[in-house]
């Protein structure tokens, strides 16, 4: 089953604090990020659109000013989404204990990937550890 049409936001470039990023880059990054957070076999078009918008909002909360920052932000958003999905699946009662353990371990790995992406972005921006990298 193919994904529903891409959200309208994919037709505009990612707008960073130093101006918009190149449109082809923005479109591809948003397409890849969207594909990482949408399960097209079980979700309705409305659920897909909601997830797309949430992923886009999360990406933009990092205020990426260049393609490298946008890629790191997208990795963080995708890792967070994957971690949450693993934790959700680990809570399903029909899962065997071995599967639940594996899903929890996968979630921990994704949480580490999220943290690593955040630290890398902070270092890339030259910020001291612990400085907020997102906007309110």
Whether residue 117 is contained in a domain is answered as yes
Q: Say which residue, 17 or 106, is predicted with more confidence.
A: 106
Q: Can you give the pLDDT at residue 37? A: 86
Q: Domain range spanning residue 29?
A: 19-125
Whether residue 135 is contained in a domain is answered as no
Whether residue 131 is contained in a domain is answered as no
Supply 13's token pair: 């470039």
Whether residue 7 is contained in a domain is answered as no
DSSP codes joined into one string, 17-71: TTEEPPHHHHHHHHHHHHHHH--TTT--HHHHHHHHHHHHHHHHHT---SHHHHH
- What's the pTM? 0.83
Q: Label residue 8 by pLDDT band (50, 70, 90).
A: low
**Could you report the per-residue pLDDT of 23-65, keeping only the tens digit for each?**
899 889 988 898 888 776 788 888 888 888 888 899 999 999 9
Whether residue 9 is contained in a domain is answered as no
Whether residue 14 is contained in a domain is answered as no
- The DSSP symbol for 89 reads H
How many domains does the chain contain in total? Answer: 1
Q: Can you give the pLDDT at residue 133? A: 54
Q: Can you give the pLDDT at residue 3? A: 43
Using an 8 Å Cβ cutoff, are 30 and 10 in contact? yes
């Amino acid at each position: 089953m193919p994904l529903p049409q891409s959200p309208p936001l994919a037709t505009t470039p990612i707008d960073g604090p130093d101006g918009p990023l190149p449109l082809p880059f923005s479109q591809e990054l948003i397409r890849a990020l969207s594909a990482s957070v949408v399960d097209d076999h079980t979700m309705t078009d409305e659920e897909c659109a909601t997830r797309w918008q949430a992923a886009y909002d999360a990406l933009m909360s990092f205020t990426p000013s260049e393609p490298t920052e946008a890629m790191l932000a997208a990795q963080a958003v995708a890792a967070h989404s994957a971690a949450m999905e693993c934790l959700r699946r680990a809570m399903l009662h029909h899962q065997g204990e071995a599967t639940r353990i594996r899903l929890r371990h996968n979630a921990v790995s994704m949480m580490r990937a999220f943290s690593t992406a955040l630290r890398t972005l902070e270092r890339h921006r030259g910020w001291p550890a612990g400085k907020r990298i997102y906007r309110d």
